[in-house]
A and B are shown apart, each in its own frame.
Chain A
Amino acid sequence: MTTLLIAEHDNEVLNAQTAHALTAARALGQPVHILVAGAGCAAVADAAARLEGVERVLLADDASLAAQLAEPVSALIVGLAERYDAVVAAATTTGKNLLPRVAALLDVMQVSDIVTVVSPSTFKRPVYAGNAIETVETSDTIRVLTVRTTAFDAAGAGEAAPIDTVPAAADPGLSRHVSDEVARSERPELAAARIVVSGGRALGSKEKFDALMLPLADKLGAAIGASRAAVDAGYAPNDWQVGQTGKVVAPDLYIACGISGAIQHLAGMKDAKVIVAINSDPNAPIFALADYGLVGDIFTLVPELTEAL
């Protein structure tokens, strides 16, 4: 049988997370087909076809799929599912929204946020904000999986796979897209960045957050993250939040500035290769994790660090 991987995209560009999820999908040991569902998304299908180890790309191009709402996309996937014994997606907000709906329609339990493929039916996944790793074996014949993309390397480029066009399912008309408010950024995407600099509540205001964090990020070519406290206080937009309920990142270098290190924040960044913490409180939990800790006033040390780089 075959594995179906759902492509993550914005109708124009294939998101890098798809290549990471592909590595997990290939670890199931079956040929992989990628489904590109959207509107005006032929370029995405071309990009997906050039990923290493993809046997076939299915392109469903229809106006009803433009916003990739869960209802029409899950109807499409369920219609295709009898040909597949695994359906896989990256654990992005799109994947998390879509796949449990698919799983329930197929009457199977999903395995969320897998970090290791032990066997085609056994997976490891973090629970309790990453404080425990659970190994679960599923008895369902169709495996529905979302993938923690930071746990898998990106698949490389391969020979172009054939692209088949598939029709969209009848639109169930259960929801309607109204508008998007996209936070545009010149900086690297948070989930994929090699370096992340992150600020917390100690920054005190949006002005100070910007004044300290933006120059440091720009100097390092880094993405900017934030703790929940900083986001809730309005210092940073919510899609910058790193943690159990925000984004999970695993960059080469993570610099936490004025972040104490609550369990929920650590869940989102403790797999970074190198962690640096700058904090005025020498007892902050973040220092127990940090490879390099620096105690002192962030308003002095962060500009000093930016200057020294």
Chain B
Amino acid sequence: MKVLVAVKRVADANVRVRVKADGTGVELDNVKMSMNPFCEIALEEAVRLKEAGKATEVIAVSIGPAKAEDTLRTALAMGADRAILIQADGRVEPLAVAKLLKAVTEKEGVDLVLLGKQAIDDDSNQTGQMLAALLGRGQATFASKLDIADGVATVTREVDGGLQTIALPLPAVVTSDLRMNEPRFASLPNIMKARSKPLAKTQAADYGVDVAPRQTVLKVEEPAGRKGGAMVGSVAELVEKLKTEARVI
């Protein structure tokens, strides 16, 4: 079974990004970039499938600027066998990413595609579902547990109000939630080894996919601020203020 994992390069989860003064976007110059945390989880799951003898090959793919190569090297260091960089500059929307991933999935004869449930930059939560739709395959989103047996993926999903388990025949698309696993750290020897693993560089145009955005960002602004910062000295004072000042209890 071949597994494809889609990974995205995003501003690091611990960075508090700032909106540019001219309102055209957020400031990403000199900001630490990392692999999207949900993508790390998806990749970890793929590597575990290989270690369990269920996957024969793990292919990592990333779509974005030339620098996304760093993210793919991280994926290789974590255990992916080879990587594909699809270079595309500027804003690439989930629909275009899904179309590119469909092309790769079909070309490589992939049985399972693993993605993160959302990227922490655009917070869209769309790509996996769109890919499943375009492939005409089943989808299991927000997965916290994945079992593969006899060509069927049995997936426990985190849904509002609890957990839901569904089963889908392969090929299928699964998106990872936070609690699926604890991603490993790449060891130094593995980082060194990753340098010599194959990494194919391609262009979005090679796949015949139009990546022109459907949406125009008119403005990016700071969220409305809160005043905050008022301290109270005791529980009695807190209760008094909640009753008389805030009037919420």
Contacts and interface: CB of A to CB of B under 8 A. Distances in A.
Interface string B212-232: 011111111111001111111
Interface of A: 67, 69-71, 74, 92-94, 96-105, 107-113, 122, 125-140, 172, 174-183, 191, 195, 220, 228, 231-232, 237-239, 244-245, 247, 252-253, 263-264, 270, 273-276, 287-295, 301, 304-305, 308-309
A104 B232 contact: no
B129 A70 contact: yes
Given A109-B94, A183-B161, A191-B160, A289 B228 contact: yes
Interface residues of B, number: 84
Nearest to A278: B238
Interface in B65-119: 93-95, 98, 117-118
Given A270-B226, A309-B249, 13 more contacts: A70-B132, A96-B125, A100-B130, A108-B214, A132-B223, A136-B215, A137-B216, A138-B215, A174-B136, A175-B140, A183-B161, A195-B248, A294-B234
Interface in B191-249: 213-223, 226-232, 234-236, 238-239, 241-242, 246, 248-249
Most buried by B among A129, A288, A292, A293: A292
Contacts of B94: 100, 109-110
B241 A292 contact: yes
The majority secondary structure among interface residues of chain A is mixed
Contacts of B183: none
B129 A101 contact: yes
Contact of B229 (A96, A112, A135, A293): A293
Contacts of B117: 245
Given A136-B216, A136-B218, A287-B231, A305 B239 contact: yes
B56 interface: no
Interface of B: 11, 13-14, 16-19, 26, 38, 93-95, 98, 117-118, 120-134, 136-142, 144, 154, 157-169, 172, 177-179, 213-223, 226-232, 234-236, 238-239, 241-242, 246, 248-249
Contacts of B128: 100
Chain B interface secondary structure, helix, strand, loop or mixed?
mixed
Contact of A97 (B129, B227, B232): B129
Contact of A112 (B123, B235, B239): B123
Contact of B228 (A104, A137, A290, A294): A290
